[in-house]
Chains A and B, each alone.
Chain A
Amino acid sequence: MSLLFAIRRQFAHDAWAKARLAQAVRELTDAEFVRELGPGLGSLRAKFCHTVDAEHLWLQRIVEGLSASERPNDGRYASRAEFLHWYEQVQARKVALLGSLTEERLHATVSYNNLSGKPFSQPLYELLQHVMLHAAYHRGQVSACLRALGKQPPATDYIDWSRENPA
């Protein structure tokens, strides 16, 4: 079982799960999308946007060698349409990166600075694992936001995707 195969499958699941959440966002109103849901959740906009922004940050570091020094404002999109346009742009860039991967590249070192400017160097596969787990963590929060809005969040479990996409 190659690492490349495992990582591609994990990202395929993540893309499927995100697409299901994005569809749930399309079915909200803009007012629901931006609504503050309390101290534990913030807003659905902030949670989903943070996840996508983090992916963009890592794509910049990995693909372009650029290390941002500031986190973007996760409340900057006033409408679902604006946010979903950003989401689709970032997903397309992620698909392009995943399509270009090889086992050799996965083990290549990526050097970057964190938001505080501190330098780090790590194999690419470790960074991709981080991106994926970060997304899964915030997927749980986006689902909780949907529930707080009175909506039924979509099933996004790995096992549901894996049944439809056996190895």
Chain B
Amino acid sequence: MPAISLELLQQYAAYDRWARDRQWQVTAKVEDGELACALAGLDSLGVKWTHLLDAIDRWLARIGGRNPGGMPDPWRLATIKELEAHKSAVLNRWETFLATLDEERIAQTIEWRGPKGESLAMPLGSILQQLLWHGQYHRGQISSALRAIGKQPPATDLLIFMREQG
């Protein structure tokens, strides 16, 4: 049983979309050298974005019954242009998938293989909650990475989103 309703998942997904767009607006303006600049504790701004997107893509593969294989190199996207192309492709798949959800679907159990080949299973709704929380965790790191390269990260608090939505 998922521990979250479809309505709540959709609210969090809407917030996640808004917050990610706000951070992207700032990220899209950085230089390629700033994107790839190594930062203590944070890898780089580019790595944080790439990891975030790769996590979504890997879970979409598992949910679709495919094995995503090993983790791709998070340093592989060296330019804003490359990162934007990856972001666009992954988020198109993500949004298409989100549009298919209903209560019955999020209650379904997804099975996949763990890193040691072990069999794992969880309701789809719980996996989606993981992805949304994972995004929020790395949103904090993207803000720190932006600040570390001298940029002002945007405010992305849920309360601001709620006020904007009215």
Contact = CB atoms under 8 A, between A and B. Distances in A.
A141 B2 CA distance: 28
Contacts of B127: 159
B82 interface: no
Which residue of A37, A144, A146 has the most chain B CB atoms within 10 A of its CB atom? A144
Contacts of B150: 39
B91 interface: no
Contacts of B147: 39-40
Contacts of A138: 140
B140 A141 contact: yes
Interface of A: 1, 3, 5-6, 9, 13, 37-41, 122, 126-127, 129-130, 133-134, 136-141, 143-149, 156-159, 162-163, 167
The interface residues of chain A, by DSSP majority, are classed as: helix
Interface of B: 1-5, 8, 15, 39-42, 120, 122-123, 126-127, 129-130, 133-134, 136-141, 143-150, 156-159, 162
The interface residues of chain B, by DSSP majority, are classed as: helix
B134 A157 contact: yes
A143 B139 CA distance: 13
A37 B4 contact: no
A147 B127 CA distance: 26
A167 B5 CA distance: 13
Contact of B42 (A6, A13, A40, A126): A40
